[in-house]
Amino acid sequence: MRDIGVKVLVIGGGPGGYVTAIRAGQLGLDVALVEEQYLGGTCLNVGCIPSKALIHAADAFGHAVEQAKSAPFGLRVERPSIDFPRTLEWKDSVVGRLKGGVTALLKRHNVKTVRGRAAMLDGKTCRVEADTGPQVIRAEHVVLATGSEPVALPGLPFGGKVISSTEALALPALPQRLVVVGAGYIGLELGTAYAKLGSKVTVVEAEERILPAYDAELARPVARRLQALGVEVLTRARASSLSGDGTALRVEDAGGTPRDLAADYFLVAVGRRPRVSGLALERLDLTMNGNGSVRIDERCATSMRNIWAIGDLSGEPMLAHRAMAQGSMVAEIIAGQRRSFDKIAIPAICFTDPEVVSVGLAPDAARAAGREVVTATFPLQANGRALTLRAEDGFVRVVARADNHLVLGIAAVGAGVSELAGSFSLALEMGARLEDIAGTIHAHPTLSEAFHEASLRALGEAVHV
């Protein structure tokens, strides 16, 4: 195959990579995109999208099971069942539709897509091992967007019954028993889904509580729901290894007392790491961070001129929407625009039951940064829409500077609160003060009123609590 020369070479077709390529195409740049496995990356194919589809199916089935036991608003369901293979087919159809959309968008914007494994030859050249043979691509700018991969534990390498989130989204049948190692958002999202589908789930977490990346106030309603679902949660416990026949996991509590947990599968969800192997990055003079990510500045520029790194490859927070924003920005910088990246308003969402969303600073983090703050929460049990949804466990919380009421952080926990993330982010991005939110009319009855009421409460003007 003949060599290709382009203005922009994007390596990685996940959310960050394909958005970079599409935006570059919109700006009239000549761009090539290299993807080894599947367009859409982890998020679209084996992460964000399929997991949310499975969570939705589990929610629907869980509600049906609850209605079979009681009928608080008159709906009666008898003997609900779920066809799990059909559920997976529906999940895969959602992925297929979106993947087809990405393919069409790349084609519409004249992006040259090359399927294969890329390895850098130097700062402007890469070799792609494609099914049709080797392909050399030369570019003025190279955007590294290879994403991340699951982290395995030393005594629990992936394989067989030890699975990552990828395999957990494509199990051949519903497991009777599932052990989840890691009580972060990935482990709890999938663990909760399988518990609702009927599996007996046990969660093992080395830290003192679940969701250690979120503050304790946000984690409490999730812990209550896990207990109601019958999920056993073991905190301050460490998973070490499987039994000889691979049917049980050895777990030790804080005092070193061992316990064996038998299960059909052992889902290890202890985090993700930047995917740097196989790219021959050692041929480049890139400065790396201690966690193995590529060091970047506020423009996503690396230590080498015209080499950029975006998304999970550049470290935390490893979120698809961060990668998309970075990719769009880099394309615009290459096109000659002046841009920089400010990460203050990146929402973090945990699609557990109830959902958790956080943007900006938590109260303790704001105080640790030397701020005097005012904070207030509004309980969803006082929100009319939450009551009509039978989803009253949770709250919305605002954190603002005490002197000028500038909003520093917003968080919520409750059913459906992920849809409030855009409003929360916009408030921070626009530099809103408590008075701005309090003075904005929020539609009634909606969950968004809780945001309004929390701001009023912080001002000492609460109406409905």
Residue 432 has pLDDT above 90, yes or no: yes
Q: Of these residues, 63, 141, 444, 452, which one is catalytic?
A: 444
- pLDDT reported for residue 233: 97
Asked whether residue 440 is assigned to any structural domain, the reply reads yes
Q: Which of 318, 344, 370 is the last residue of a domain?
A: 344
As a residue count, the chain comes to 465
Q: Which residue range is the domain that position 25 belongs to?
A: 4-46+89-150+273-344
Model confidence over 237-278: pLDDT tens digits?
A: 999 999 888 899 999 998 889 999 999 999 999 999 999 999
Same domain, yes or no: 238 and 289? no
Q: Which of 322, 344, 366 is the last residue of a domain?
A: 344
Same domain, yes or no: 414 and 447? yes
Same domain, yes or no: 9 and 130? yes
- pLDDT reported for residue 1: 62
Q: What tokens were used for 354?
A: 């109830």
Q: Summarize the confidence of residues 395-423 as an average pLDDT.
A: 98
Nearest to 10 by CA among 313, 317, 338: 313
Name the 3-class secondary structure at 102: helix
Domain total of the chain: 3
| Active-site residue flag, 56 | no
Instruction: Give me the torsion for CA of 463, 410, 342, 332, rounded to 10°.
Output: -80
Model confidence over 165-197: pLDDT tens digits?
A: 999 999 999 999 999 999 999 999 999 999 999
Percentages helix, strand, coil for the chain (3-state, rounded to 5) are 35, 25, 40
Asked whether residue 216 is assigned to any structural domain, the reply reads yes
Same domain, yes or no: 256 and 193? yes
- pLDDT reported for residue 76: 87
* Domain harbouring 312, CATH code: 3.50.50.60
Exposed/middle/buried for residue 31 (C-beta within 10 Å: 0-12, 13-18, 19+): buried
Q: What tokens were used for 193?
A: 């889904």
Quickly state the pLDDT bin for 130 (edges 50, 70, 90). Answer: confident
Average pLDDT taken over every residue of the chain = 96
Exposed/middle/buried for residue 209 (C-beta within 10 Å: 0-12, 13-18, 19+): middle
